[in-house]
Amino acid sequence: MLILYNPQSTASGKRVLPMSLLAVGAALEGVHDYMIVDGNLIPDPVAAIDRSIRETGADILAVTVMPGPQISHAVPQCRELKGMHPDLTIVWGGYFPTQHYDVCLRAEYVDYVVRGHGEIVFKALIDALRNGTDPTCIQGLAFRRPETGEITSNDMAPIPHPNRLPDFPYHRIDVPSYVRPTFLGKRTLAHHSSYGCPFHCNFCAVVNMVGGRWMAQSSERTAGVVRSFVDQWGVDAVEFYDNNFFVHEKRTADFAERIMDLNLSWWGEGRIDTLLKYSDRSWELMRDSGLKMVFLGAESGSDETLLLMNKGGTASTGKTLEIARKMKHYGVVPEFSFVLGNPPDPEADVHGTMEFIRKVKRVNPDVEIILYMYTPVPLAGELYDQAKARGFKFPETLEAWIDPEWQDFLQRRSAQVPWMEDPLRREIQNFERVLNAYYPTSTDPKLTGVWRLVLKAASAGRYHLRLYGNPIELRALHKVLAYQRPETSGF
Ligand code: B12
Ligand code: SF4
């Protein structure tokens, strides 16, 4: 028996379908005996895992680890479980271990790291461990050399094609526990229909994962999954967590046509330049099939910075304004994320992007704005090089990574980067507070029309006069109303 474990992934314990484990588990079906434990659903996962080990004799614990709250649970829990069961083999996989495998393997409670998309690699590892053969030549595996303790990573394995992988083994989990109300609908469930992204933006962790490749399930298969959500669990809204759902126009349009009769709402992530190339017919199909909102990386208010980010394709600030206009026409809300504080001149970058956001809002006031701080990922490129030149260094142990300051960093909210001064971070927070009050998000169902008007009135003066500093009255209103930042469906 082996245990696949999803440590709690949000501070609030939001229940998100554990797709990483469903994907890895699907490849084990009928070959290896396994169970899924989800830390988002149970109060004491260490006790549950300990009990399962004792009852079933499980000897392998495979953990999915993403940055943020998840790693801060994974570290002490794996340490504790290894202490209780020294013979337990612990395997980590997911975005964080893929990028920082060396840091993970420096901890004695992590035995193997599976890098990249792990279905085939993990199954090969389990086959080897069960058959007593040597796993150290498996592509995509990182490990400590048994003789010397040296940390080694083999080359990444080819990415498995999602259309050739088995369906998720939903029978392994209690799906109704993951059906949630969101701004999209009363019964929302998630799916992931493609792997990767064909671009190489140098601030993005997806590049390390897939190296610029994108592969997708067919429109027919994706629509089939959605239909089964409706038939089996009465779902009325679907979030697509794909890094880039909209790469292939024909697939998207065909998918939209196939789900037209389901009366659903749906959401996904895409690229501005790609969606601008879509025909009017495709936009109509998407709108009519229930597309409500698209998360788009606008990234910056400066064309120069977009180049520096290696944003690729034909990204430009002009296109950001153009898509805002186009989506207003189709009644689909754009959710623009911006990465602020880029080197070499973070102040100019922040101020330029704030002004650009105001421009966007003039074109389409419904646009949702999500602000992130630039946080380096270990990728070749000018941004990371400049960050290093200014003294940026990743922590070298897992214990240091879960320090609260680095937790902020991992959630892309920190100024713990040598080129960001604290006053600038405060400025961004104040701007965000005024902006979110003047344009309250449509993703907050608690906020009634009256309160929206109150917020708008309270922030109008500040917004128009650009007086963002120290908005204590808005902070007080925020305390009373607890209104949220725009909800980025996936994150
Ligand atoms: C769903 C999701 C979440 C969920 C949690 C999911 C969970 N596990 O419980 C929620 C919404 C809570 C979440 C939160 C965050 N997330 Co998130 N999230 C995602 C998202 C959209 C999908 C993940 C998914 O299910 N994919 C589908 C599965 C099939 O693919 P996969 O996860 O990659 O799994 C494969 C491999 O990674 C590997 N693998 C994964 N786990 C394991 C485990 C083992 C044992 C093995 C062998 C292999 C393996 O094999 C799998 C199959 O191929 C990804 C982006 C993406 N499209 O993947 C971002 C992503 C992982 N998140 C990210 C981030 C940064 C966050 C946040 C920390 C911060 C933020 N502000 O966005 C927050 C956490 C903070 C908070 N306040 O909640 C980043 C990570 C970037 C990085 N630097 O590493 C990503 C890549 C988004 C992005 N493009 O930037 N997230
Ligand atoms: S387009 Fe988006 S997902 Fe693709 S590499 Fe750039 S930021 Fe990452």
Residue 266 has pLDDT above 60, yes or no: yes
Answer whether 339's CB lies under 8 Å from 373's CB.
Answer: yes
- Identify the pLDDT of residue 312: 74
Band (pLDDT 50/70/90 cuts) for residue 420 is low
Band (pLDDT 50/70/90 cuts) for residue 11 is confident
Task: Name the residue of 2, 4, 95 to mutate for ligand 1: max ligand atoms within 8 A of Cβ.
Answer: 95
Beta strands in 44-87 (DSSP E): 60-64
What average pLDDT does the chain have?
Answer: 92
Answer whether 299's CB lies under 8 Å from 311's CB.
Answer: yes
Residue 95 has pLDDT above 60, yes or no: yes
Judged by its nearest atom, the ligand closest to the C-alpha of residue 205 is 1
Q: How far is the CA of 439 from the centre of ligand 2 (A)?
A: 27
What top-level class would CATH report for the domain 179-420?
alpha beta
| Token pair in block for residue 5 | 């474990």
The predicted-structure confidence for 100-127, as pLDDT tens digits, reads as follows 999 999 999 999 999 999 999 999 999 9
Residue 379 has pLDDT above 80, yes or no: no
Answer whether 21's CB lies under 8 Å from 6's CB.
Answer: yes
Q: How many residues does the chain have?
A: 491
Q: How many CB atoms lie within 10 A of CB 35?
A: 16
Cβ of 197 below 6 Å from ligand 2: yes
The span from the CA of 117 to the CA of 350, in Å, is: 35
Q: How far is the CA of 29 from the centre of ligand 1 (A)?
A: 23
At 462, which amino acid appears? R
pLDDT average, residue stretch 434-453: 88
Task: Name the residue of 95, 202, 206, 412 to mutate for ligand 2: max ligand atoms within 8 A of Cβ.
Answer: 206
Residues with CB under 6 A from ligand 1: 6, 9-11, 14, 16, 18-20, 23-24, 40, 62-64, 66-69, 91, 93-96, 114, 117-119, 122, 192, 205-206, 241-243, 377, 410-412, 490-491
Name the more confident of 366 and 484. 366
pLDDT average, residue stretch 200-225: 93
Answer whether 116's CB lies under 8 Å from 156's CB.
Answer: yes
Cβ of 243 below 6 Å from ligand 2: yes
Beta strands in 19-176 (DSSP E): 34-38, 60-64, 89-93, 112-114, 141-144, 151-153
Answer whether 305's CB lies under 8 Å from 349's CB.
Answer: yes
Q: How far is CA 358 from CA 4, 149, 337, 375, 469, in A?
A: 46, 54, 14, 24, 17
Cite the residue boundaries of each domain of the chain with CATH code 3.20.20.70.
179-420
Residue 203 has pLDDT above 90, yes or no: no
Q: Coil, strand, or helix at residue 133? A: coil
- Identify the pLDDT of residue 106: 97
Q: Coil, strand, or helix at residue 126? A: helix
The span from the CA of 198 to the CA of 145, in Å, is: 34
pLDDT average, residue stretch 392-399: 89
CA 465 to chain CA centroid, nearest Å: 35
Q: How far is the CA of 207 from the centre of ligand 1 (A)?
A: 14
Q: How far is the CA of 19 from the centre of ligand 1 (A)?
A: 9
In this structure, of 84-98, 114-128, 431-445, the range with the lowest mean pLDDT score is 431-445
Q: How far is the CA of 298 from the centre of ligand 2 (A)?
A: 11
- Identify the pLDDT of residue 178: 97
Answer whether 24's CB lies under 8 Å from 118's CB.
Answer: yes
Judged by its nearest atom, the ligand closest to the C-alpha of residue 274 is 2
- Identify the pLDDT of residue 274: 96
- Identify the pLDDT of residue 484: 67
- Identify the pLDDT of residue 447: 82
The span from the CA of 89 to the CA of 1, in Å, is: 12
- Identify the pLDDT of residue 405: 76
Band (pLDDT 50/70/90 cuts) for residue 417 is low
Residue 139 has pLDDT above 70, yes or no: yes
- Identify the pLDDT of residue 309: 85
Cβ contacts of 484 within 8 Å, gap of 6 or more? 441, 443, 444, 446
What's this model's pTM, rounded to 2 decimal places? Answer: 0.94
The predicted-structure confidence for 50-66, as pLDDT tens digits, reads as follows 999 999 999 999 999 99
Angle at 79 between CA 76 and CA 85, to 5 degrees: 140
Cβ contacts of 286 within 8 Å, gap of 6 or more? 252, 253, 256, 278, 330, 332
Q: What is the CA radius of gyration of the chain?
A: 23
Residue 462 has pLDDT above 70, yes or no: yes
Give, using CA atoms, the residue closest to atom 81 of ligand 1.
205
The span from the CA of 310 to the CA of 254, in Å, is: 31
pLDDT average, residue stretch 233-249: 98
* Helix and strand counts by DSSP (H, E) for the chain: 20, 15
The four Cα atoms 10, 11, 13, 19 give a dihedral, to 10 degrees, of: 10
Cβ of 297 below 6 Å from ligand 2: yes
In this structure, of 81-90, 164-173, 180-189, 422-431, the range with the lowest mean pLDDT score is 422-431
In this structure, of 213-222, 418-427, 443-452, the range with the lowest mean pLDDT score is 418-427
**Is the domain 2-153 a CATH 3.40.50.2300 member?**
yes
Band (pLDDT 50/70/90 cuts) for residue 464 is very high
Cite the residue boundaries of each domain of the chain with CATH code 3.40.50.2300.
2-153
The span from the CA of 182 to the CA of 375, in Å, is: 28
Report DSSP state, residue 177.
G
The percent of residues above 70 in pLDDT, for the chain, comes to: 95
Name the more confident of 477 and 36. 36
Answer whether 97's CB lies under 8 Å from 114's CB.
Answer: yes
pLDDT average, residue stretch 266-292: 98
Q: How far is the CA of 70 from the centre of ligand 1 (A)?
A: 10
For residue 350, the surrounding DSSP H or E stretch is: helix 346-363
Residue 186 has pLDDT above 60, yes or no: yes
Answer whether 444's CB lies under 8 Å from 181's CB.
Answer: no
Answer whether 167's CB lies under 8 Å from 250's CB.
Answer: no
**Closest atom, ligand 1, to C-alpha of 22:** 29
The crossing angle, in degrees rounded to 10, of helices 280-288 and 317-330 is 50
- Identify the pLDDT of residue 419: 56
- Identify the pLDDT of residue 443: 83
